[in-house]
Amino acid sequence: MTKKNQSLLAYVKVQDAVDFAILMLKGQGVNKDDSVKVAECLVEADLRGVQTHGMSRLPIYVKRLSEGLINATPKMILDKPVAACASLDGDNGLGFLVGIRAIQEAIKMAETCGVGVVAAQNSNHFGMAATYLLQAVQAGYFAFVFTNAAKSMPPWGGREGLFGTSPFAAGAPGGKLPPFILDMSPAVAARGKIRLAEKRGEAIPEGYALDENGKPTTDPTAALRGVVLPIGGYKGSGLSMLMEILAGVFTGANFGGDVPDQYTVWDRPQNVGHFFMVLKPGVFVTEKGFRDRMDILVSRVKENPRAGGFDEIFMPGEIEARLEIERRQSGIPYAQSDILLLTELAREYNIAEMPYNVH
Amino acid sequence: MTKKNQSLLAYVKVQDAVDFAILMLKGQGVNKDDSVKVAECLVEADLRGVQTHGMSRLPIYVKRLSEGLINATPKMILDKPVAACASLDGDNGLGFLVGIRAIQEAIKMAETCGVGVVAAQNSNHFGMAATYLLQAVQAGYFAFVFTNAAKSMPPWGGREGLFGTSPFAAGAPGGKLPPFILDMSPAVAARGKIRLAEKRGEAIPEGYALDENGKPTTDPTAALRGVVLPIGGYKGSGLSMLMEILAGVFTGANFGGDVPDQYTVWDRPQNVGHFFMVLKPGVFVTEKGFRDRMDILVSRVKENPRAGGFDEIFMPGEIEARLEIERRQSGIPYAQSDILLLTELAREYNIAEMPYNVH
């Protein structure tokens, strides 16, 4: 499953990565329970191969916590004016904590109402959207998870960033076969992927982005100064607008390009917005009926005759789940540049370095 | 706005098109109110330039009604076990009638619960998804509208049709500026568009579809025997799977390739499933607050500096809304082949032909 990649050099044991993140977060005044939650989210992203949203983000969260731009001890407020919908004020806490609280509240409402919606504001970057999908799916629920983000993609026909490359994320439980865990950017490539290429000194394929003059580029640095492009032209642009409406306009958070980039803006919090919707399948068909029907669908997906160049057809999220099993055994492979970043972080904050093996 | 197109020859007054459709439907035993509703949906699609889902579909609905494969006098049953969710059994009625009833029920639930979900089964092809979005949006609500359909698109990595090219449809009201009406197929091109090309004897662009052997083709007839391709590879495939889960697996309808093609299968009803979710923006921010914020978003979309080749940036659905205004004045332009089809239909069922002007 894992591609041989010369930049992957160091293996870190899962518990060592979790413990390191916990120490770093506690050092910034995040309480123990919350530190564990966030650390597990970060490591889960790395386990699933979504390394743009894993430990490589820890330094920025720590920096923003230490600058007081993220609140280490948020007092979140849930406002629930009706039985099936709530607004959650994240009190500028870590996005992970806001996301976990929000999906839990949405699940509670879905349990009694069949559906639950939580609109969250005053939050921050919440990492990998699949984290929240998995919490709902493992409890037997369908979920939508949307967020907005700093501007990096233009509306179709434009050339300046307005929308984030926020994930479109939806999940449904399976029966005996793999569940449906779709977590995709409406961009041809996520900004985090371009940032990773820059960090690794690699070129990006053409079609990923325009430079600041609106011209195609393969230089990640030029691309990061320009805009990324949506899938399917106006279609991907429409999806990103949809997420800006639900996660931004609806929630009361910053929107329309006003969410500041967490890497470059140091004078104010992000006020990111998130949107969570959870459905209880048992309300429509029985829960067993739903799981049995999912298994029929999944088996038909996997048994579809292959197109040229494909050995196997995967459910969305299935490759990531297999990678997680593999990496829980092997440890998590990190690029040397990520290890350096985390070692520097440890030294800066006077915390024991994260142990790793090179092999 | 309208492109000069040599195959567009005949102009039909809006009321003449509506009246013709009403007569045809009443001739099949559909009551007057229902006939008016369906006729208006069909004509609305033509007015908005979505002519793959307008009057050109009337012959197939009439044929299936006359063969008893669609129930002209459905007794729909709404099952509402919780306050915010319901299942709707469409009793094999026209998809338009099921869709209209479902979105109305979802709006009612959203009015009291903030959110309303209706899962519909035992339905048929419901035409243009934007029809139902517009009903919610005009009443001040956000809506998702999904349906499943006959198989025509493979899962990513496969080569045999499994999913429909069902629309991903989402809508949100605006303030003074245009609303957000996104109604898009996850396919690079909708199957209806390929069928229209075939009817008109035109080639299709490469990248739209594979033939039955899994090879790229520009021949619409070969494409209709093969499969259409999703936008963004696995991403568009994931969106179509999502709609199959919500509209098919969830609802109790046919799913996983079991919805029969309405053009080729004449021994059973379709049992199509639809999924409707409606949100009340006023629950999260005030209704005025929401509309004001939408106007800020829309103005930023429209004021984004243009990419090369673009004179104006449009909101999803804005071109269609402008076309509707224009066509309500000019009449609806139909291809000669569509006029012939409708004239034949009138003769076959002994009903007065639809008047038109060639100019």
Mean pLDDT of chain B: 94
Residue A336, min C-alpha distance to chain B (Å): 30
B11 interface with A at CB cutoff 8 Å:
no
- B-chain residues near A248 (CB < 8 A): 297
- A-chain residues near B290 (CB < 8 A): 249-250
Mean pLDDT of B69-82: 97
**Cβ separation B250–A83 shorter than 8 A:** no
**Cβ separation A113–B84 shorter than 8 A:** yes
**Cβ separation A155–B313 shorter than 8 A:** yes
Show Cβ contacts of residue B226 under 8 Å, excluding neighbours closer than 6 positions: B209, B210, B211, B212, B213, B214, B217
Q: Residue B1's pLDDT is what?
A: 36
- B-chain residues near A168 (CB < 8 A): 239
Q: What's the whole-model pTM score?
A: 0.94
Q: Residue A215's pLDDT is what?
A: 82
Q: Provide the residue type at B56 as one letter.
A: S
Closest CA in chain A for residue B244:
A297
Q: What is the DSSP string of A35-71?
A: HHHHHHHHHHHHHTT-GGGSGGGHHHHHHHHHTTSS-
A266 interface with B at CB cutoff 8 Å:
no
**Cβ separation B307–A157 shorter than 8 A:** yes
pLDDT higher than threshold 90 for residue A177? yes
pLDDT in tens, B339-356: 999 999 999 999 999 999
Mean pLDDT of B71-99: 98
H helices of A201-286, in order, are 220-225, 234-244
Going by C-alpha positions, the residue among A312, A298, A259 that lies closest to residue A123 is A259
**Cβ separation B236–A232 shorter than 8 A:** yes
Closest CA in chain A for residue B81:
A283
Do B123 and B261 contact (CB within 8 A), yes or no? no
- B-chain residues near A301 (CB < 8 A): 155, 158, 162, 241
pLDDT higher than threshold 60 for residue A6? no
- A-chain residues near B167 (CB < 8 A): none
Q: Residue B3's pLDDT is what?
A: 43
- Which domains are present in chain A? 3-187+230-287+319-358 (3.30.1370.60)
pLDDT in tens, B246-297: 999 999 999 999 999 999 999 999 999 999 999 999 999 999 999 999 999 9
Is pLDDT larger for residue A8 or for residue A300? Answer: A300
pLDDT higher than threshold 60 for residue B51? yes
Mean pLDDT of A156-178: 93
**Cβ separation B142–A246 shorter than 8 A:** yes
**Cβ separation B304–A162 shorter than 8 A:** yes
- B-chain residues near A172 (CB < 8 A): 245, 249
Q: Residue B8's pLDDT is what?
A: 53
Q: Provide the residue type at B286 as one letter.
A: T
A253 interface with B at CB cutoff 8 Å:
no
A228 interface with B at CB cutoff 8 Å:
no
By Cβ distance, the residue of A81, A293, A300 closest to B283 is A81
Q: Residue A8's pLDDT is what?
A: 53
pLDDT higher than threshold 50 for residue A180? yes
What are the structure tokens assigned to B186, written together?
Answer: 């996850």
Residue B35, min C-alpha distance to chain A (Å): 29
Mean pLDDT of chain A: 94
A–B: how many Cβ contacts below 8 A?
231
C-alpha dihedral (A286, A292, A297, A300), degrees to nearest 10: -160
| Residues within 8 A of B (CB atoms), A 30-59 only | none
C-alpha dihedral (A70, A71, A72, A74), degrees to nearest 10: -140
B292 interface with A at CB cutoff 8 Å:
no
Say yes or no: ipTM exceeds 0.90: yes
Q: Residue A203's pLDDT is what?
A: 95
Residue A95, min C-alpha distance to chain B (Å): 19
